[in-house]
Amino acid sequence: MTINTINESLDDAATDDHHDHKMTGIKRWLYTTNHKDIGTLYLWFAFIMLLTGGALAMVIRAELFQPGLQIVEPDFFNQLTTVHGLIMVFGAIMPAFTGFANWMLPMMIGAPDMALPRMNNWSFWILPFAFAILLSSFFMESGAPNFGWTFYAPLSTTYSNGSTAFFVFAVHIMGISSIMGAINIVVTIMNLRAPGMTYMKMPLFVWTFFITAYLLIAVMPVLGGVVTMLLTDTYFGTSFFDAAGGGDPVMFQHIFWFFGHPEVYIMILPAFGIVSTIIPAFARKKLFGYSSMVYATASIALLSFIVWAHHMFTTGMPLFGELFFMYCTMLIAVPTGVKVFNWVATMWRGSMTFETPMLFSIAFVILFTIGGFSGLMLALTPVDFQYHDTYFVVAHFHYVLVTGSLFSIYAGAYFWLPKWTGHMYSETLARWHFWCSLISVNLLFFPMHFLGLAGMPRRIPDYALQFADFNKWVSIGGFAFGLSQLMFLAVVIKCIKGGKKAPAKPWDGAEGLEWTVESPAPYHTFSTPPKVD
């Protein structure tokens, strides 16, 4: 110890860097700056939010079980769809990925922790407040936000039910949390890689999170800007989106989707990273086309900035605009196709085994591709006029977000559970979870394609009689899918409590630095960086 260390003394006190003890009880979690603890917090938070958003979806499906109004009033139905969307996007999928980033990034690049551990603590702990604010609006007289998760003006300004301020502040906090998380990821990856780990030697998982973090830094501030404009329009008399004062409501959609489209890739690029880690492990082959995967990820990220108006084909654009956004959107299918082919090529002639992480990954590849194809259909301007705001859109984005993002999260969770807990999970129960989810999720979302093509509009609590049969099946699928997720909870709790002791590397095809440390991963790993060659 020299004088140099004095500078670090504060950090040492906060991070317990060189003492392998941790605080006990609630304080351990409140004050923690350990990337593994924070990762765990993010993952549990995301799962709780998944169940919360799922519960709202159950009410939605119960209402839609039969035509007519049974359970909820139309206005409350709007609140349900709005908050369901917000919770799932900002509360479940995004924090789950941040959880993965926290747990795995430092271990994968041989770093002792995230680069900014105290900010890390803060970016997690403001999240529960954001969702407390959002959810508390349910208990207010005027109710929760009811203008759709896309909060189009003037629905969220002139016609707001009074929840706009709560919504705006909640989104601000979520945005700040995501931005801080993203800055942390970028700094960690740029500065804390083990000696010898050049950029093109990083696992693809690390690459996808690196690019996603840049996307977050680029577009979350735009979201912050647009909700601020909303706030001042609603409460301070400005007219950004108010035609009466010289504003333009269509401009809202442009700014929102300038954030919104990169946002959908923020929710899928990390999924690509997880699946690209798991498929090689269980195919016992190297990932096919590593560098093409990196470039594909980067091109998807760049293209995501110039396709936003494909969400707005029906707002009245000149032909040139429609063609431009249509072609750019279809262009994204090229790098995405490269990825799908690479995953298939990785599996080609591999010695595959089908443990649960692999099952979820294969389901991801197939079902995400279905979601991608329906996305391509929606990209075509002329047919989008028919599909716009129908259940076809709902089917599309649930295929990419549930069977895409969520399935990849499950795949990743099963893959790394042994590393996290030190125990093998129950393969039987996990398979039950997989097969029940797979069957019910398709029963839930596949018929929605046909409902949409037949003209059933989204966000409406009632529907024409001819849609009744399909909706009944969809609802049954929904309830089954919701219940199946409790099996995951059971697997995780069982796995934490005990089970077969996991070796350092429980999957024999797995590669990466995280498998060189014992299971469960010690509280502090890679205090001295490993050498990568």
Interface residues with another protein (CB under 8 A)? 2, 4-5, 7-8, 115-116, 158, 179, 183, 186-187, 190-192, 217-226, 229, 237, 240, 243-246, 248, 250-251, 254-255, 258-259, 316-318, 321, 527-528
Is 84 catalytic? The answer is: yes
User: Minimum distance between the CB of residue 388 and another protein, rounded to whole angstroms?
Assistant: 19
Is 276 catalytic? The answer is: yes
Please give the Cα distance from 200 to 323 (Å, whole number): 36
User: Minimum distance between the CB of residue 19 and another protein, rounded to whole angstroms?
Assistant: 15
Is 501 catalytic? The answer is: no
Tokens of 57: 């979806």
Our CB check for another protein shows the closer of 110 and 372 to be 110
Please give the Cα distance from 309 to 258 (Å, whole number): 8
| Whole-angstrom Cα Rg for the chain | 23
Is 21 catalytic? The answer is: no
Our CB check for another protein shows the closer of 219 and 406 to be 219
Is 178 catalytic? The answer is: yes
Find the catalytic residue in 265, 343, 410, 515.
265
Instruction: Indicate the length of the chain as a whole number.
Output: 533
Is 336 catalytic? The answer is: yes
Find the catalytic residue in 29, 149, 214, 432.
149
User: Minimum distance between the CB of residue 529 and another protein, rounded to whole angstroms?
Assistant: 8
The answer to whether 311 touches 263, Cβ cutoff 8 Å, is no
Residue 511 Cα distances to 108, 278, 507, 508, 515, angstroms = 10, 9, 9, 8, 7
User: Minimum distance between the CB of residue 265 and another protein, rounded to whole angstroms?
Assistant: 16
Q: How many helices (H) and strands (E) does the chain have?
A: 19, 0
Angle between helices 391-400 and 427-453 (to 10 degrees): 150
Please give the Cα distance from 392 to 86 (Å, whole number): 20
Residue 186 Cα distances to 101, 198, 215, 417, angstroms = 11, 15, 11, 25
Is 458 catalytic? The answer is: yes
User: Minimum distance between the CB of residue 244 and another protein, rounded to whole angstroms?
Assistant: 3
Find the catalytic residue in 339, 388, 398, 505.
339
Our CB check for another protein shows the closer of 258 and 463 to be 258
Is 339 catalytic? The answer is: yes
Find the catalytic residue in 157, 212, 336, 440.
336
DSSP state of 193: P
Find the catalytic residue in 233, 263, 322, 514.
263
Our CB check for another protein shows the closer of 51 and 165 to be 165
- Nearest CA to 217 out of 186, 254, 173 is that of 186
Q: What is the per-residue burial (b if ≥16 Cβ within 10 Å, else e) of 142-155?
A: ebbbbbbbbbbbbb
Our CB check for another protein shows the closer of 266 and 495 to be 266
The answer to whether 496 touches 511, Cβ cutoff 8 Å, is no
Find the catalytic residue in 311, 388, 423, 505.
311
User: Minimum distance between the CB of residue 498 and another protein, rounded to whole angstroms?
Assistant: 36
Find the catalytic residue in 36, 261, 449, 505.
261
The answer to whether 505 touches 485, Cβ cutoff 8 Å, is no
User: Minimum distance between the CB of residue 336 and another protein, rounded to whole angstroms?
Assistant: 25
Our CB check for another protein shows the closer of 250 and 429 to be 250
Is 361 catalytic? The answer is: no
Is 533 catalytic? The answer is: no
Please give the Cα distance from 307 to 316 (Å, whole number): 16
Tokens of 437: 């989810």
Is 239 catalytic? The answer is: no
Is 515 catalytic? The answer is: no
Our CB check for another protein shows the closer of 25 and 316 to be 316
Residues annotated as catalytic (active site), given as ranges: 84, 113, 149, 177-178, 261, 263, 265, 276, 310-311, 336, 339, 458
